[in-house]
Amino acid sequence: MKVAVIGVTGLVGGVMLEVLRERNFEISELIPVASSKSVGKNIVYNGKNYPVKSLEEGVRSRPDIALFSAGGSVSLEWAPKFAAVGTFVVDNSSAWRMDEDKPLIVPEINADILTSDKKIIANPNCSTIQMVVALNPLHKVYGIKRLVISTYQSFTGTGVKAVNQYEAERDGRPLVGMQAYPHPIFENCIPHCDIFLENGYTKEEMKLVHETRKILRAPQIQITATAVRIPVHGGHSESVNIEFEREFDMNEVRSILENADGIVVQDNLKNNEYPMPKAAKHKDDVFVGRIRKDESIPNGLNLWIVSDNLRKGAATNSVQIAEYLVRNNIVRSQVYV
């Protein structure tokens, strides 16, 4: 497979390279692509230097798969150009997620809808991915009626600019360049992820609403969310309150979660065992704990869900989509076509 990584010099692009290497994704030719200011620089993959190419060069290379993590405006302009030369695009931005013609994929849930004629594939938002991995197996059994979501999201989800702001504030030195947030992030919590919309919610909060319904194929679920940025490096945490359509048994709930793909249950209160972002860092799983009934409503359940937002929330999910495409012969190397 000829594989391009678009935005290779960014935070998620670098993690994509790590995940491709760790999972031994078979690559005959790596095509690292970034903005004009990075063209010509070298990146290292599996001990070999690769010069960074421009987007134009990337298209001319006709990769079989292109993993995009370069922002929505780049994706809107360039994903169709890659698709036009036969490339399968897995896009990590929000550009295509709610396009009815573009599949929005979490492989554990809905990779079965992928087909050879859908060349642009959307990777969901990081906070959505980890949540639906935990919710889907329960939804299939009990049916979700309503969700109340509170997220506690790492500043790494905002990108390199946020990392620079946090580190400058932590170290007590002047910030070089524009700050990512309107307030300090070091030793602070900011209830403001992405831009505010006319309804008073942020774009991040509404992503949790719309993307969850699309991925679970359940437009009827009632969802409300509050997203908070916190000074944590390791990943995103979520408190999720679920109201099911049907009664549930707690032992069965635990069994369902323990046997679901991609989930690790950490819920031993006697030993103070529960998911934490520091422990989830650099891991691909979704960790679930604090599993307990909501005693204030019928059929209510509370979950605490944690995952590394740069891994399963972005890079790992993208690579898993690519693996599914190859494994199921949806994409076949253009070298042999």
Tokens of 164: 């620079």
- pLDDT confidence tier of residue 170, bands split at 50, 70 and 90: very high
- pLDDT confidence tier of residue 337, bands split at 50, 70 and 90: very low
- pLDDT confidence tier of residue 150, bands split at 50, 70 and 90: very high
What secondary structure, in 3-state letters, does the chain show?
CEEEEECCCCHHHHHHHHHHHHCCCCCCEEEEECCHHHCCCEEEECCEEEECECHHHHHHCCCCEEEECCCHHHHHHHHHHHHHCCCEEEECCCCCCCCCCCCECCHHHHHHHCCCCCCEEECCCHHHHHHHHHHHHHHHHHCEEEEEEEEEEEHHHHCHHHHHHHHHHHHCCCCCCCCCCCCCCCCCCECCCCCECCCCCEHHHHHHHHHHHHHHCCCCCEEEEEEEEECCCCCEEEEEEEEECCCCCHHHHHHHHHCCCCEEECCEHHHCECCCHHHHCCCCCEEEEEEEEECCCCCEEEEEEEECCCHHHHHHHHHHHHHHHHHCCCCCCHHHC
Q: From the candidates 126, 189, 193, 282, give the one annotated as an active-site residue.
A: 126
pLDDT at 178: 85
Q: Is 126 a residue of the active site? A: yes
CA–CA dist 308, 200 (Å, integer): 28
Hey, what domains does the chain have and what are their CATH numbers?
Answer: 2-124+314-336 (3.40.50.720), 127-309 (3.30.360.10)
Q: What's the burial of 178, exposed, middle or buried (CB within 10 Å: 0-12/13-18/19+)?
A: exposed
Give the pLDDT mean for 73-83.
98
Give the pLDDT mean for 12-16.
97
Question: What digits encode the pLDDT tens for the residues 222-239?
Answer: 999 999 999 999 899 999
Q: Is 236 a residue of the active site? A: yes
Residue 333: is its pLDDT beyond 70? no
Question: What digits encode the pLDDT tens for the residues 316-327?
Answer: 999 999 999 999
CA–CA dist 179, 4 (Å, integer): 30
Give the pLDDT mean for 248-252.
98
Q: What's the burial of 45, exposed, middle or buried (CB within 10 Å: 0-12/13-18/19+)?
A: middle
Tokens of 89: 């695009």
Distances (CA, A) of 42 to 39, 51, 56, 204, 316: 9, 4, 18, 34, 23
What pairs with residue 42 in β-bridges? 51
pLDDT at 125: 98
Residue 209: is its pLDDT beyond 80? yes
Q: From the candidates 192, 233, 236, 282, give the one annotated as an active-site residue.
A: 236
Tokens of 137: 């197996």
pLDDT at 42: 95
Please state whether beta strands 263-265 and 286-294 pair in parallel, antiparallel, or not at all (unpaired).
parallel
- pLDDT confidence tier of residue 334, bands split at 50, 70 and 90: low
Mean pLDDT over the full length of the chain: 96
Neighbours of 84 (CB within 10 A): 10
Residue 176: is its pLDDT beyond 90? no
| pTM score of the predicted model | 0.96
pLDDT at 336: 42
Give the pLDDT mean for 277-285.
97
